[in-house]
Structures are given as C-alpha cells and as structure tokens.
Amino acid sequence: MELIEHHASVGGWQNVYRHNSQTLNCEMNFGVYLPPKAVTEKLPVLYWLSGLTCTEQNFITKSGMQHYAAKNNIIVVVPDTSPRGEHVADADSYDLGQGAGFYLNATEHPWNTHYRMYDYILHELPDVVMKHLPVTSRKSIFGHSMGGLGALVLSLRNPDEYVSVSAFSPIVSPSQVPWGQQAFTAYLGENKKTWEHYDPVSLILQGAKLPEIFIDQGLSDAFYEEQLRTKSLERVCKEMNINTSFRYHTGYDHSYYFISSFIGEHIAYHAKRLRLSA
C-alpha cells in the first residue's frame, strides 16, 4: 500500500492510498481521514460510497466531513466508485463503466474481469484497512446516490457486518429505474431474478432486516422522481416493520451542497451507534 497524498486537516490527516486490488485486478485509490485521536488509539471506521462519475476525491474535498470525523473520533474510508485503468472495460455514457461500478459483482463479459466492487467493499478493502491503519473491528457504512444504493445493499445482505447504515438520495429500487436497468442488464444480464440481489426494495420484501435506516432526500433533486424513488423504500420499510428516519428537505438538490449541509448529522448518527456497540 502506497501513500500518495498526505494533508493536515482539522488536527488530523487526510490521506490517499494506492494499492493493487486482487479482487478488481487493477490499482485502486482510496481516501482515509485519520482524526487526531488516531495517533494514540484505534478507532471505529465509517465507509463512504460515492455516486456516479465520482472518484475517491469528491467526498474528501467537497463534503467538509473532516470536521465532524475529528469531533466524533471516527476514521472515514472513501473508496473509488469502480475499477480503473486503460485495460479495464468502459462505456461512453457516464452511468456505465468506469465511475459507475454500482457496487455489485458483474457476471457478464467484458465487465466480470474487473467489476467486483461488492466483494471489494465487503472483503478486500476492510482487510487492507485493518492491516495497515489504527482501526477497531467496528464499522458502519453510508453513501450518496449510487453509493447510497451500495450502502443499503451491503448492509441488508450483511446485517452483522455493519453497525449502522445511512444514505443521501439513494437509488432504492434500481430494477425499476433507467440507471439501474441499464447497469444491471450490462453487468448482470437479462435475468431479472439476479437483479434482486442488488435492489434494496426487493431485498426488504424478501425478508432482509436491519435495526434502522436513516435517509436524507432533497426535494429539488432532479433525479428524485425518475431515478431514486425514495418513497418506495419508505413504504416497504413501513410494511416490513423496519425502523426508519426519512427526512425530505425543501430546496435541496442532488449535489454536494446538500451532502455538506447534513453530513455532520450523519457522522454523529454513526458515531453514537459505533460507541454503543463497543
């Protein structure tokens, strides 16, 4: 693992590392914020999954999360959104290929050689983090848009792996919306039964359970009606008796202006639950 960026931030350090991923068959970058307390003790970890077109840079440079991670004594790990490189399959559209990994394990050619982001986030990256950084075994997960989808799927399918989950503007029913239908057809093929493994609404209807889910959604989000379908997740959670907090914010859109407005509350939410689980 190679340290490629090192910036002092809010008394701690914002680092970016590069490593060779065996899961993805390429080099991958990921950001890590180490709060001041990480110098003297091991801390719990909060994984952030970014949305379409993003790299590890968007969240670490735009969200302002370092202030809240330092205050709450929590390490934040920020992976890239897909495998990368000239040898990695790509597409001409922003919502497929590099920058659009959808946090799944692709089964279709040519994507299945590299696009195994589900296994990377669930297994390989936490192993690398545990080996090289001052972390405890306690971890939570959150994300935005495609990353919110990934956070929900990973936690619903692995409820003992993450202490808590939250999301900003997640794609909650990808099987039913254009973004998800295009990606799932390319990565997973035409069999829609396989799509259900990466669809939060489908997983909950099939009995997947979590103690609670926390969602923030902007009501001026251009993708709210067509691509996100937030209300459908709220309905199935109510139907299946999952505790939720859905907050709808007038005037807020899909951007980092929205994320930066409420990121402190999300980090505090996870920090409280990570402390209680210790």
| Catalytic (active-site) positions | 145, 221, 254
What residue type is 147 in one-letter code? G
Report the alpha-carbon distance of residue 112 to residue 210 in Å, rounded. Answer: 29
Residues 103, 213: Cα–Cα separation, whole Å: 19
Instruction: Please say whether the beta carbons of 191 and 202 come within 8 A.
Output: no
CB 31 within 8 A of CB 59: yes
Alpha-helical (H) ranges within the chain are 57-62, 65-72, 117-119, 125-132, 146-157, 178-188, 192-195, 200-205, 230-239, 256-276
Is residue 88 within 8 Å of residue 14, measured between CB atoms?
no
Rounded CA gap, 72 and 266, in Å? 11
β-strand pairing of 26-34 with 75-79? antiparallel
